[in-house]
Structure formats: structure tokens, C-alpha cells
Amino acid sequence: MKIEKSEQLFSNAQKYIPGGVNSPVRAFKSVGGNPLFIEKGYGSKIVDVDGNEYVEYIGSWGPHLFGHNPSFIKEALLQAIENGTSFGAPTAIEVEMAKLFTSLIPSCEMVRMVNSGTEATMSAVRAARGYTEREKIIKFEGCYHGHADFFLIKAGSGALTFGVPTSPGVTKGNAADTLIADFNDIDSVKDLVAQNKNEIAAIIIEPIAGNMGVVPSSDSFIKELRAICDEEGIVLIFDEVMTGFRVAKGGAQQVLGVTPDLSTFGKIIGGGLPVGAFGGKKEIMQKISPAGPVYQAGTLSGNPLAMAAGYAALKHIHDNPQVYDELEEKAVYLENGFKKNLKELGKNFAMTRVGSMSCMFLTEEEVTDFNSAVKSDTELYGKYFHEMLNRGVYLAPAQFEAMFISTAHSYEDLDKTITAHLESLKAIL
């Protein structure tokens, strides 16, 4: 496999772009080696600048539910671009998008479009603080909500301590307002709530975590979390930037049967273009400017291109709900193939899956939270990643990321992946 052009581009990129990439995980630092530069994508495949083709399972980190460059999204974009790219003024497609979106996500009585998942989660927390007139929030170790300051906090040195910054540039003040609980551990939440009575504005969670691998909330945990928020007047925020329209038409909240007060979205709702959204109860959303005093704005929010692509994606979901049956069947097929391989090799690596999101952890312990996830052998994963890449299968260049299946993946693609999986594991074990 020749990667000469990718190597040259990466060398040049490092002269002008920090680390040579515009988002850290793209740099391959957790798996070793240098990143591939992609030239085009179609269906389930991507092609790098050296002409190498791969069956890939990143899907731009989740948005490509229907594979790369589906015709109905491309057509919507071409039509929209004829009229202009951005106006900084309201357009009809924004209204159509909001109407369709709120019909698909019943918990969102109103929605505000933004430009990224980070912007969505940041704004949702601000809305919750403005609504409750409280300042502190609870997040969970291992859940990722973008790179706003108050999210870049890790657990403190002892149980139930204040969090500490994980990045230079994040202030101690931000850390002091962010409390860290343990995922799937309701007692850790109860203790924090008791220690900070009437001070917590919101609890934000990935109801199905996708940034420590794929780790779903347990049924009892997520339902008790809802009950605590009701009892204490705390706004429950579901971060569905990754899971929204990915694990089900109604997202993780449909799968888990729990209704949040606010939700955040991104990825699929932009049809592959930059986008984000937050929505929820009308009484909270009407606190957002200009209806209310909580300020939030964006020059390119609801821009016609993202709205056209996103509307095409959601309309396709609305008109073809059977896509989730297809995704489930393909995901089960791939999961069973991997499990058969592991059995043949005498390995019991932890595997998790919800709908078309899955993860194989290179640990034989059950994974239910951050502490169990990080027991995975990341060095071994790096070797596995490169063995799969050499066999024409492009996975996430990090152990703690999801594997995404699209409707464009054929059973031929899945069989190729299952064979590559077995051969790659044999090569490294």
C-alpha cells in the first residue's frame, strides 16, 4: 500500500496547521503512524490521495447514516447552492427543518439550530443555568460534550471531589462549577446532589456514551437519574450529538424510554455539513434570546446549505423508517461475525453495540463505565488498526471511538471486514 502523497501532505500540513490536522484524533497519535489524506468517498468506501480504497466505518464520525455522498443529499445541496450559501437572515428551509425535527423528537417542543455539537452543548447548559438560576453542573467521567471550557474537566484526585482542568486554558473557576460523577453509578450522583443542594442547574450525559467506546446507560441508572432531576428541579440534558437519529429514529431517548428536558444534536441532522442543535421543553427554550434573556447567536446558524442537507437526511428517515431495521440486521451480522472470530481465537474481548454503533474493546472485562473502558489494551489496538487498514478496512484511529455502519454497507463489505478482523487478530495475538 503506497501512501507517498499522504506522507508529503502531512509533512507540509505540520508547517501551517497545529499537529498537521484540524481535529486531534485525525493525527493517528493513539494508533501510531501518520494520517491518510482522503480524496473522495462514495457509499461505504473512501479513497485516499494515493488511490487506496477502503471499506470504512467512521462515516465522518457518525453523520453518514446513508454512506458517503448519497444522491438525495447531493441533489438537495446542488439546488440550495443555486440560491446562495448564506444570508444572515431567516429562510423558509429553517422553518421546515424545525417543524420536521420537532415532529421526529417529541421531547423537543422547540429547537435552535447552531453550527456544531460543541456549540449545542455549551448553549444547552447556558439555557439550563438561565432557567434554574443556578451555576453548577454534573457531567460523567468518560462522556465527551465538545471542547467548551466547562466540559474539559476530569475527575478529581479522590471520590466525589471537584473536577480539575484537563487542558491548559481552562480555569479553576470553570472546574469548580463542574462536578464529576461516575457513569452508571447512581450513588455517585446522589452524593453530589446532596453535597450541593439547590446549586445544580443541569446534569448532562451521553445516554449512550460514544466517546469511551460504546457504553449504554443501564435501565435502572438512567431512570433513577430522571427521577433525581425531577425531585431536585435539575434540568436533565441528553447529549445526542452522536446518537441522535443514529441508534433509532427518536435517538437514545427512544431506545432508553426516558425523556430529557433538553437535548443536543449534530452530525446526522446536517447531512454531513457542519451543524448542531439544541431543543427541549418550550418553557426552557423560550428563555433563549430574542424570546428571553439567555443570549445565544450565530452568524451561520441555520445556513441554507446545512439546512437543505439536513432536511434531506431527516425527510429520508421520516419517509423510510425501515432503514433502522436494515441497519440493525447489518450490525448484528457484523457483530456475530466478530464474535465467531473471537471464539475461534479463544478470546473474550468485550463487545458493545446499540443499533448501528458498536465497539470492540481489547479487554476481557465487561465494560460499563470509564474505569472499565480504559483497561482496554490501547497499544494492541494500534497494531490491530494498522492490520485492518492494510487489509482495506478503515476503522477509527482510536480505541475509544464508535464503529458506525451505514445503509450503504453491503454484505460483501461486511464479509470482507469479518475476514480482515480474523486475519488481523491472528497477526497481533
- Catalytic residue numbers read 144, 239, 267
All three cell numbers of 352, joined, read 458493545
Half-sphere exposure of residue 191: CA atoms within 13 angstroms, side-chain side? 12
**Amino acid symbol at 137:** I
**Amino acid symbol at 387:** E
Sign of CA dihedral 28, 22, 204, 160: positive
Cβ atoms within 10 Å of 332's Cβ, excluding its own: 12
The answer to whether the CB of 353 falls within 8 A of the CB of 209 is: no
